[in-house]
Structure 1
Amino acid sequence: MATLSLRNIKKIYPHASNGKKKKASKKGEAPTGEKANLEVTSQGVVAVQQFNLDIADKEFIVLVGPSGCGKSTTLRMVAGLEEISEGELYIDGKLMNDVEPKDRDIAMVFQSYALYPHMTVYENMAFPLKLRKMPKDEIDRKVKEAAATLDITQYLNRKPKALSGGQRQRVAIGRAIVREPKVLLMDEPLSNLDAKLRNQMRSEIIKLRQKIDTTFMYVTHDQTEAMTLGDRIVIMKDGFIQQIGTPQEVFDHPANLFVAGFIGTPQMNFFDAKLLLEGGRYFVTTGAVKVELSEEKQQALAAKKVSAQDVTLGVRPNHIILNDGTNAIEATVDVSEMMGSEVHLHANTQGRDVIIIVPTMDISGSHKETFSYGAKINFTFGGNVCHIFGADENNLEL
């Protein structure tokens, strides 16, 4: 229903001494002198800076990052709940910086549901339409359509206290979509739910996205939500965008060490290593392992004329291979976590904790060996699964 364009957006929270200290935004994303790694200027604490993003019509964009990275602040600036300090926000090509929230044709779903406890589900969903002085029959039609879409028709006469957390969140979403907004903003809507309900509601949001013609902007700190919901993911840290891409792009080609460690469960393993250039070919060596990089990586590094250097090597847990000790790193098992179809081994090597995912059965269906505390193992990895990061923590291939 709408395109969004955020150009050089910046959010500065003035110091208390300026006499205009802003109220702290949700989850502490507002400034305090204690916020780690946020830039502090003479004007105040910079919570978001150099934020540039173009969102296509009906696209589902997810902002993801740790608490305090500026993602909720960005969402609230789009909603008009936070003033934009610098930069420009456009919705369908129209400058929105000074447009009141009610006139932006957006709807927002909060983490806390924010339902009126004295109203029924029907009344909660109908409330924004009544404010618009919409005819009663049209209100009735829209509420019942939204309730059917979200499978909450049977709860229309109940009050919020009689609903589960997942049902309340569906009502909150229903109240937002009855208005048929151009943009639907969602600020960590699933974080108050237990794991089973979160999985269920993720599926419901994916289905909802297919049924309504709306552009979505979704905030979460959960990278699993980001990977499963988003057409594209915007990964943030300390107010800056670290990488924008599809879930597969950011997983396969992380831009830097932060993205590599943040995306993926369990997180990527990192090793101190050396990148070697011998006979026009690139190798990486760490401990007793020396691996020739894949052809794709050879071409990427050669195109950038990358020289031999000390690097940080990243390898995902499911890409590590146990072997008999040939061209391998030795490690000692600290913890063995049985996960059903696989075992997560936490092992110590080179003074680092390494996570290795090992299937519990081989291709014949036979159970593999078990690993006890203190067991010695050897592992290696292929040259096609290495991620090489330079001294500046950026991916040398990109």
Structure 2
Amino acid sequence: MAEVILKNIKKVYPHQDGKKKKKKGAEERRSNLTVTDEGVLAVHDFNLSIKDKEFIVLVGPSGCGKSTTLRMVAGLEEISGGELYIDGTLVNDVAPKDRDIAMVFQNYALYPHMTVAENMAFPLKLRKVPKEEIAQRVAQAANILGITEYLDRKPKALSGGQRQRVAIGRAIVREPKVLLMDEPLSNLDAKLRNQMRAELLQLRQRIDTTFIYVTHDQTEAMTLGDRIVIMKDGLIQQIGTPQEVFNHPANLFVAGFIGMPQMNFYNAELVQEDGRYAVVLDRAKVFLSDEKQTKLKKNGVRPGSVTLGVRPEHLLLTGDPNAMVCGTVNVSEMMGSAVHLHISACGTDTIIIVPTAELENANNYAIGSEVSFTFSGATAHLFDRETGLNLEA
């Protein structure tokens, strides 16, 4: 069993000049970082319980603290506060080599003078594993990753994807309790990333270990993770399955970060008629679904100004401008199976995804043309204008 528990984990980088702030306990913001008298707060109040054999993905923009969190689990960064448990054991002060974890880095970190087989065998030799067992484990890992034919080659003779497989193989031969991956696919081209994502999904079915994976790519997060941990400015914004965070984002940041293209946002009005909620945008008045009605009533949400979010694939072009939202086409992007229309509407840029199969004539959406669209009450997301929190949560 390899359960990983992080309780109130915090990481502070002390001020380099050693000087503290005049007002003790005061905080200030610098860009996306919180600065206290202790130092720069990179990760704050991080709480997460990872089940045995679960695939967890930490995702967020650059500087959000995801890699720092991973390095604290690995023991490469000192934990400033909180408790880290691996397999029921407190490991805050345990050396990295004694945590029974393995890590795959972004830049592969292979030894150029060693062959593939020697690179994969190296961590086992350090542990003085018998030669016969080393050969068996290396052969098994190479077979799983499809690199058996490259065992006698050196890293310089391999492609980027093959080198990444070797780096993963070197990690899994150790049979670690926890396998950590820090943006392992970011150096690969788009086609190879897609291929490697599929291979990682197959890999996790074949080895018994817990995965903690870090990426800034929300597509990787959605396709790989059993659960996703979305981070911003060192804080967890939401934890959930890919479907949960996509369908029920906790706040504006999550709603805008998850989904490609990102969700459209508007300043709208929430109204009530005969006890039912409706959202008003331009000429459109859309009554919300029964599920959303129930949640809003339970939370005691009052009518007023809200931020409305609708995903590009949920906006529907229509021919009735008198009861819908109107706009002007600025850009029309042909993406093969769909056209992405960029429309100026309600004072903001709106993206609508239109399947090419539904297009009667692409010229109808030429630049400068007027269009109207609407949305259903089941696909509308409502957020508090001040806090950015989802009003249904």
TM-score, normalised to structure 2, is 0.96
- What's the CA shift for 1:288? 1.4
Q: Name the SS of the counterpart of 2:236 in structure 1.
A: strand
* Coordinate RMSD, CA, aligned: 1.4
2:271 and 2:303 in contact (8 A); partners too: yes
Alignment partner of 1:83 out of 71, 78, 83: 78
* Shift in alpha-carbon separation, 1:231–1:197, aligned structure 2, 3 A: same
| Equivalence for 2:368 | 374
| Equivalence for 1:16 | 16
CA distance in 2: counterparts of 1:8 and 1:109, whole angstroms: 25
- What's the CA shift for 1:34? 9.4
| Equivalence for 1:341 | 337
One-letter code aligned to 2:352: I
2:29 and 2:35 in contact (8 A); partners too: no
- What's the CA shift for 1:350? 2.1
One-letter code aligned to 1:273: A
| Equivalence for 1:42 | 37
| Equivalence for 1:331 | 327
Deviations 1:217-271 (A, max 9, x none): 0000000000000000000000000000000000000000000000000000000
1:361 and 1:368 in contact (8 A); partners too: no
Deviations 1:60-98 (A, max 9, x none): 000000000000000000000000000000011110000
- What's the CA shift for 1:330? 0.9
One-letter code aligned to 1:388: L
Alignment partner of 1:214 out of 209, 217, 221: 209
1:360 and 1:368 in contact (8 A); partners too: no
- What's the CA shift for 1:340? 1.2
Deviations 1:323-381 (A, max 9, x none): 1124111111011001112100001112210000011113xxx7444321101100111
TM-score, normalised to structure 1, is 0.94
Alignment partner of 2:189 out of 166, 170, 194: 194
CA distance in 2: counterparts of 1:16 and 1:342, whole angstroms: 52
The alignment status of 1:152 with 2:147, answered yes or no, reads yes
| Equivalence for 2:277 | 282
The alignment status of 1:358 with 2:360, answered yes or no, reads no
Count of residue correspondences: 383
One-letter code aligned to 1:120: T
CA distance in 2: counterparts of 1:35 and 1:101, whole angstroms: 32
- What's the CA shift for 1:35? 5.6
One-letter code aligned to 1:169: Q
2:283 and 2:322 in contact (8 A); partners too: no
1:256 and 1:389 in contact (8 A); partners too: yes
Alignment partner of 1:388 out of 378, 382, 388: 382
Q: Name the SS of the counterpart of 2:332 in structure 1.
A: strand
Q: Name the SS of the counterpart of 2:17 in structure 1.
A: helix
Q: Name the SS of the counterpart of 1:18 in structure 2.
A: coil
One-letter code aligned to 2:356: T
One-letter code aligned to 2:347: G
The alignment status of 1:71 with 2:35, answered yes or no, reads no
Q: Name the SS of the counterpart of 2:106 in structure 1.
A: coil
CA distance in 2: counterparts of 1:58 and 1:368, whole angstroms: 50
CA distance in 2: counterparts of 1:222 and 1:35, whole angstroms: 25
| Equivalence for 2:92 | 97
Q: Name the SS of the counterpart of 1:138 in structure 2.
A: helix
Unaligned runs of 5+ in 1: 20-32
